[in-house]
Amino acid sequence: MKVAGIIAEYNPFHFGHKYHLQKTREITGADAIICVMSGNFVQRGEPAIVDKWSRTKMALLEGADLVIELPTVFAVSSAPYFSFAAVNILNSTGIVDYLCFASEDGEITPLYDLAILLEKEPVQLSNLIKENLKAGKSYPKARSDALIAYYQQIKDNQKDYIGFLTKPNNLLGINYIRALIKLNSSIKPLTIPRIGSGYYETELKGNIASATGIRKNIQTNGPQSYLEKSIPSSCLTILLEQFRTGKGPVWLNNFSQLILGLLRRSTEEELALLPDVSEGFERRLKETADKCINLEELISELKTKRYTWTRIQRTLIHLLLSIDKKYYQLDYLPYLRVLGFNSTGRLLLKKIKNKAETPIIMSVAEQIKIWQKQKHQPIYKNSLAILQKDILATDLYQLACPEEKHRKAGADFYHKVIIV
């Protein structure tokens, strides 16, 4: 059985992901697809528009066979950590043959060459990155600009990759390949061209709109009929049901009072422990929080060349979930948390259980009991701490549901694995 893996960074509810799943089967000849998906908070530092179980069902109905959750700690991290953890999940199953991801150019060779270059990071490139950081650029921007300058300096006409370095899906793909290299994985990376709207485009055009555009339009206009053009009917039905019952949509601004309260209560020393906080940014966080009335205003005031909108959002989610820098010092995968599967996925799980050394979680309650008995050992203590962040993420996410009756804690304990 050939198995392909995909990584759903945000919400698998639009035609772009359906196209991704279809093209993955086409170019790999895969008999099954494993989807690694962010939970209730995503890499942009935002809550998902609807909960992880609803999105799991959408993914399964549109072509995935098994959905595994990317632990929240890594789902809300910067691209290198996010990519490494997601790829590590696929690699740890022991059964994945291909990793298939979308990119703006749909060419794997340039992305592979760039990944190797970044892994080796010659001195000339390293110095260019440092210069850009000193100029106040964010690390992703500093690295991207350094790569462009590097290729311009070496004047390698056979490797005109500059155009690949300004596109977000290309850059994420490079991080996926770097993760495969670090893991010495046998998984073969393949890419398909991203079609339809651009990554950042907010206008809904044609059948394949960007996830950003879909979220923006729902937030501005509500779930209007025009979404039928952008969202598969099975997914739209689930989405509208979540809205009708008051379980969604959930937006970052729903957490304004909670996060502003945490900022005002925290000391500068505590804020300095958050990932991506450095160079006195903790002081700006503290001072700005005292003057702002919601998160949109706060982020607008804080945004700079180095501290981008997305980076600030992730910092706020780190604060919300009490995720500090120590969580990114771990060098192992804590668990494989199964969110859902179909009949093919059930067969995949049997194969994974025979090959994977990483614990497979079907029941959160049962796994916690096991680890609590073993928590004197650091590896199990740390795994338990990461799983508890998933539970906390869900409990706080529930507080932002429009209907009060859905705001009780404990969903990770009573919500069953999705089976279709």
How confident is the model over 79-120, as pLDDT tens digits?
Answer: 899 999 999 999 999 999 999 998 988 899 989 988 998 898
141-144 — which CB contacts under 8 Å span 24+ positions? Answer: 141/305, 141/308, 143/118, 144/171
Res 235: pLDDT: 87
Q: What is the dihedral of CA 255, 400, 314, 277, to 10 degrees?
A: 40
- Helices 343-355, 79-93: axis angle to 10 degrees equals 90
Taking alpha carbons only, the member of 170, 168, 158, 162 closest to residue 106 is 170
Record the tokens describing residue 69, joined without a space. 């959750």
Show me where the domains of the chain are located: 1-104+170-250+332-420, 110-166, 252-327
Residue 54 has pLDDT above 50, yes or no: yes
265 pLDDT higher than 70: yes
Half-sphere exposure in the Cβ direction for 35 (13 Å, CA): 33
The answer to whether the CB of 37 falls within 8 A of the CB of 56 is yes
State the pLDDT confidence band at 158, using cuts at 50, 70 and 90.
Answer: very low
Model-level pTM?
A: 0.92
Q: What is the mean pLDDT of the chain?
A: 89
pLDDT in tens, 306-354: 899 999 999 999 999 999 999 988 777 899 999 999 999 999 999 999 9
1-104+170-250+332-420, superfamily in CATH? HUPs (3.40.50.620)
Question: What is the average pLDDT across 346-367?
Answer: 96
Distance CA 264, CA 259 (A): 9
109: burial class by Cβ within 10 Å (0-12, 13-18, 19+)?
A: exposed
Look at residues 14, 44, 51 and name the one whose alpha carbon lies nearest to residue 340: 51
